[in-house]
Amino acid sequence: MTRRARSTNFLRPLYRLGWLVIWGVWLTTLALVIPVVMPHDDVVGWGFATLAATSIAYVLHRLWDWFVVGRPLPWR
């Protein structure tokens, strides 16, 4: 029994590039932007800023999934 070769999805590199950009910007925001913008002694503010950046990155990732791959959105 021979298997047919899987056809490659031509959007896969585009999907991975988008994933890399979204989470790369998220990581850069956590490492470089938030420490410059937030006061160093404001732990609660750091927590909210980190939560906001993570939430935005997650929503952008889900929208990217929906736009490129066609996965349904979790809230639909």
Contact criterion met (CB below 8 Å) for 64 and 56 = no
pLDDT, tens only, 17-54: 999 999 999 999 999 999 999 999 999 999 999 999 99
Residue 25 contacts residue 57 (beta carbons within 8 Å): yes
> What are phi and psi for residue 5, nearest 5 degrees?
-65, 140
Q: DSSP assignment, residue 32?
A: I
Tell me which H or E stretch contains 56.
helix 43-64
Read off the pLDDT of residues 49-72 as tens digits, 9 standing for 90 and up: 999 999 999 999 999 888 887 777
Tokens of 46: 């750091």
